[in-house]
Structure 1
Amino acid sequence: MKMGCLNGTTLSCLKLATTVTPTFAFPSQPSSFHNLPFLRRTIKFKPLSSALQTSPATSPSTTKDHDQASRPQWKAAIDFKWIKDNKEAVASNIRIRNSDADLELVLQLYDSFFNLQKEVERVRGERNAVANKMKGKMEQSERQRLIEEGKNLKEGLIALEEDLLKLNDKLQQEAQRIPNMTHPDVPIGGEDSSTTRKLVGSAPEFSFPVKDHLELGKELDLFDFDTAAEVSGSKFYYLKNDAVLLEMALLNWTLSEVMKRGFTPLTTPELVRSSVVEKCGFQPRGNNTQVYSIEDSDQCLIGTAEIPVGGLHMDSILAETLLPLKYVAFSHCFRTEAGAAGSATRGLYRVHQFSKVEMFIFCRPEESEYYHEELIKIEEDMFSSLGLHFKTLDMASEDLGAPAYRKFDVEAWMPGLDRFGEISSASNCTDYQSRRLGIRFRPSEAPVASPKKSKGNLAPPQFVHTLNATACAVPRMIICLLENYQQEDGSILVPEPLRPFMGGRSVISRKS
């Protein structure tokens, strides 16, 4: 079963009504120590999922502190009426994405919240009515009666408002787990159901035994995994000699190529608030979270520049004339890679820290599908110019992250691994992220003239759509280049587009 668009003006996204100023409280949890000298203090890393929990046994606190810690760290102004009116479509979307969101619980909490909110408004109205009555002249006995009645109403209202706040917190916690809606053309099922959109080139043929990047790197003295394991732990590495030059060449070439297409270059913070991670849709999932968080802090290490770039215009209303905003960002990325093991992930293929160049676009809702196609074309053009054999996949529904409306992955042929491996992806997140980050634009076209002056004559702001795509994930690109361009004598040809960025060098060879 394929899901279609539910609303013609917004591409099948959950509708949110207003933005709310986020708070950034962050509870602490114990974990092992890791030292980062540049922070000038010892910090403790832990999976973000554990950071979002409280533990009275290890973190003594008052009941009040515990209540605050267990509340959502931020609020999304979700239009629950829209979800209720489209219950069947939302439920079907949750099923095809294999999400653990509990729609029935969300709707039950919403009904309870709605009814309690009406009761709060009723009691508040009674209290105001009593206050108005006391403004006139009356007998002392009547005034005393009204004073007592007002006192009782005030106490009852305080209790009701506290209940309403707790119920709203619970509603937020459950509703924020609901994923974005899904493009009608997305294949339904697991990763194996993904379809091939494009196949480029052919696998290179070798007249000699093929080596993988680990063997090539050892012979050419390009990597040091053993020392990195002693210094930092498994899945860390040193790049050495020509591998360093190759990384710099890849980064500079990628930035120059993407900038030619109108993207503004950025370097980003590599520590961000945990709430920004959540607003971008990176939901921690038990022990398999990919996010490193820092104890006694509300900060996390980024797993992708998508997160700090997404937060660049947080809580803003942009002029429509500024759109689209296109950024290309360089950053280091940090991922726990929990559960990753085996020969398929060895070497540089899956590591804890790496360099990456990320593209990101803020645009009008009606343009996001167009820019999604633009992003994947940029990726395909760049990988083609490097002479890679690759395929572009339209990823199946169960392989989409919570924010993605649709996602295209590029997998390149890696001869040493004897398989295709993912080297990039491009996602259209529609307004899933912007509604959480509070990023809107005001249409330049004015609405129908109103007799009332001031803000009534301005077009209401709308949420932008966000898109992201990997321009270059350095370690996997190095794998592709070493394995595809290896020569019988053990040297590596440098693809022509990269040579100007390596001082004109055309070959990586053994040191004499």
Structure 2
Amino acid sequence: MKRINRQLLKIFNFKRLYSQDVLQKKIIPVLDSEIHLPEPEYDIDFWCNPFNRDLIVKNISKRKSHADINRILQLHQNSHSQEELINEIRKIPNLTDPKVLEYKDNEPCVLRKMGEQPTFRFKPQEFSQIMARLKLLKSDRLGPVTGSKSYILMDDLAELEQALVKYTIKELLKNNFHLISVPDILPSQVIERCGLISDGERKLVYELEPFYGDDLSLSGTAEMALAYKLSNKIFSPHELPLKLAAVSRCYRAEISQLADERGIYRVHQFTKVEMFVCSDQEKSIEIMDQIVALQEKLFGQLGLYYQVLDMPPNELGSPAYRKIDIEAWMVGRKKFGEVSSCSNCTDYQARRLNIKYKTKDDQILHVHTLNGTACAVPRMLIAICETHQKNDNSIAVPKVLQEFMNGKSFIQKSDAPRTKVFKSNQKVN
């Protein structure tokens, strides 16, 4: 016992002397803030094989990509242009599911429609009209608070947002997803490697000013942080599939003047529950079917009428091999609107972030990554409120959400004091 106490005393004295030294000399410990990203492992043998040229050209054309395979083949023959070669390969989108590649007219394939289209004995209203009556949403003239394409939810509508998140998480946990809390600020390189950085010449992400010496951006979806968390990992066979879920704020610098995308349908920031899965290469198609089935269960239990779409090549982001969208019927618009998507990115992201697994015969391969929207709050609010609106200006709360709203079965008008409209007093010179 005395020997242990003497050891503890030595440790204590060492810490005390170290602390005094730090204070006297004003030594500030420096944290390693450098962003450590692996070198991408592009499949150069495939992309630079002349025998694959026609397939790659067709894929690039169908995907409406600006990649140039002829330039890549030319650079590959020049051993002094390795850096430029890699930069050109980086622009190539993922390959496309052969069945999807043959879709004509760039139109999605409707796989199925589920649920019942809602009918009313009164003239139904669209979301913005309903919210104006109930005084639960503010989305215009927000002044210095947040600006355009943003919104404030109040009272029952804010409760409904939280109920949706809690309901979704409960279902995901029952399906063996691990809940992760992720940051909303990420290295821009991570966002780029995950496949979301620009739309032609226009940026789709909010970049932060480099005051701290790093190139950082606001995350567009939790998928990126989850993928970054797994970079430089090698999984054993029994660890796959790895199912992760996260609730985060999503930031999108998107612009739309379409009438059907008015209100909170397309906004600059919103809350979303995201699914992210790492799979071995042979099972990613099966995993994708499982994710879509889970999405359908989530929406079906909310009483929504929806359709499932297999998206054409021109609607796929660079990482996607195949993408399934689900659109819910939006009464006010008298048409379907997208509420979720699920993408199989095969090894596109894994090659850029060094995420691998060991097979049973000790091969080291890149995992396949998949992502799926479990709940994108604004559009879910639109679909639910329009579908379940009542003639007395209330909204019926779906039964599966009532336990997360203290048993509340109807959404009512807000009794909160009205806020004054912001008016700028600044003089324009």
TM-score band (shorter)? 0.7 to 0.9
Alignment match, 1:47: none
2:34 corresponds to 1:78: no
Q: Is the 8 A contact 1:272 1:302 kept in 2?
A: yes
Structure 1 218/287 Cα, relative in aligned 2: closer, same or farther at 3 Å? farther
2:278 corresponds to 1:362: yes
Alignment match, 1:100: 66
2:251 corresponds to 1:334: yes
The farther-off stretch of 197-206 and 481-490 is 197-206
| Counterpart code for 1:395 | M
SS in 1 for 2:317: coil
Matches of 1:203 and 1:376, distance apart in 2? 20
Q: Is the 8 A contact 1:265 1:328 kept in 2?
A: yes
Alignment match, 1:344: 260
Matches of 2:155 and 2:38, distance apart in 1? 46
Q: Is the 8 A contact 1:429 1:467 kept in 2?
A: yes
Q: Match for 1:186 among 82, 100, 108? A: 100
Q: How does 1:113-512 map to 2 (within 5 A)?
A: 113=79, 164=80, 167-186=81-100, 188=102, 193-296=107-210, 297-338=214-255, 340-445=256-361, 459-511=362-414
Cα shift at 1:358: 0.4
SS in 1 for 2:290: helix
Listed one character per residue, the Cα deviations across residues 201-223 of structure 1 (whole Å, up to 9, x for unaligned) are: 23211111211111111211111
Cα shift at 1:307: 0.6
Q: Is the 8 A contact 2:38 2:354 kept in 1?
A: no
| Counterpart code for 2:175 | R
Matches of 2:43 and 2:331, distance apart in 1? 50
Matches of 1:188 and 1:424, distance apart in 2? 24
SS in 2 for 1:293: coil
Cα shift at 1:342: 2.9
Q: Is the 8 A contact 1:279 1:433 kept in 2?
A: yes
Cα shift at 1:169: 1.9
Q: Is the 8 A contact 1:76 1:176 kept in 2?
A: no
Structure 1 or 2, whichever has the larger Rg, is 1
Structure 1 191/200 Cα, relative in aligned 2: closer, same or farther at 3 Å? farther
Q: Is the 8 A contact 1:187 1:394 kept in 2?
A: no
Q: Is the 8 A contact 1:182 1:406 kept in 2?
A: yes
Cα shift at 1:344: 1.2
Matches of 2:414 and 2:267, distance apart in 1? 27
Matches of 1:437 and 1:245, distance apart in 2? 38
Q: Is the 8 A contact 2:64 2:314 kept in 1?
A: yes
Cα shift at 1:179: 0.8
Q: C-alpha root-mean-square deviation of aligned residues, in Å?
A: 1.8
Q: Is the 8 A contact 2:236 2:358 kept in 1?
A: yes
Matches of 1:219 and 1:197, distance apart in 2? 37
Matches of 1:314 and 1:235, distance apart in 2? 33
Matches of 1:476 and 1:381, distance apart in 2? 17
Alignment match, 1:144: none
Q: Is the 8 A contact 2:62 2:101 kept in 1?
A: no
Q: How does 1:39-58 map to 2 (within 5 A)?
A: none
Cα shift at 1:308: 0.5
The farther-off stretch of 481-490 and 197-206 is 197-206
Structure 1 287/176 Cα, relative in aligned 2: closer, same or farther at 3 Å? closer
Matches of 2:71 and 2:150, distance apart in 1? 42
Listed one character per residue, the Cα deviations across residues 283-317 of structure 1 (whole Å, up to 9, x for unaligned) are: 42344332111122311101111110111110121
Matches of 1:191 and 1:372, distance apart in 2? 25
The structure richer in helix per residue is: 1
Q: Is the 8 A contact 2:207 2:216 kept in 1?
A: yes
For structure 1, which runs of at least 5 residues remain unmatched after alignment?
Answer: 1-22, 26-72, 114-163, 446-458
Matches of 1:299 and 1:190, distance apart in 2? 39
Alignment match, 1:43: none
The farther-off stretch of 261-270 and 228-237 is 228-237
Matches of 1:470 and 1:218, distance apart in 2? 28
2:53 corresponds to 1:87: yes
| Counterpart code for 1:462 | L
Structure 1 24/268 Cα, relative in aligned 2: closer, same or farther at 3 Å? closer
Instruction: Using structure 1 for the length normalisation, give the TM-score.
Output: 0.71
SS in 1 for 2:98: coil
Matches of 2:171 and 2:224, distance apart in 1? 22
Matches of 2:197 and 2:38, distance apart in 1? 13
2:76 corresponds to 1:110: yes
For structure 2, which runs of at least 5 residues remain unmatched after alignment?
Answer: 1-33, 416-429
Matches of 2:143 and 2:302, distance apart in 1? 32
Instruction: Using structure 2 for the length normalisation, give the TM-score.
Output: 0.84
Alignment match, 2:427: none
Structure 1 109/187 Cα, relative in aligned 2: closer, same or farther at 3 Å? closer
Matches of 1:212 and 1:243, distance apart in 2? 15
| Counterpart code for 2:43 | D
Cα shift at 1:74: 7.2
| Counterpart code for 2:292 | I
The farther-off stretch of 351-360 and 314-323 is 314-323
Matches of 1:249 and 1:190, distance apart in 2? 41
Matches of 1:508 and 1:277, distance apart in 2? 38
Aligned residues: 377
The farther-off stretch of 217-226 and 371-380 is 217-226
| Counterpart code for 2:286 | Y
| Counterpart code for 1:97 | R
Alignment match, 2:11: none
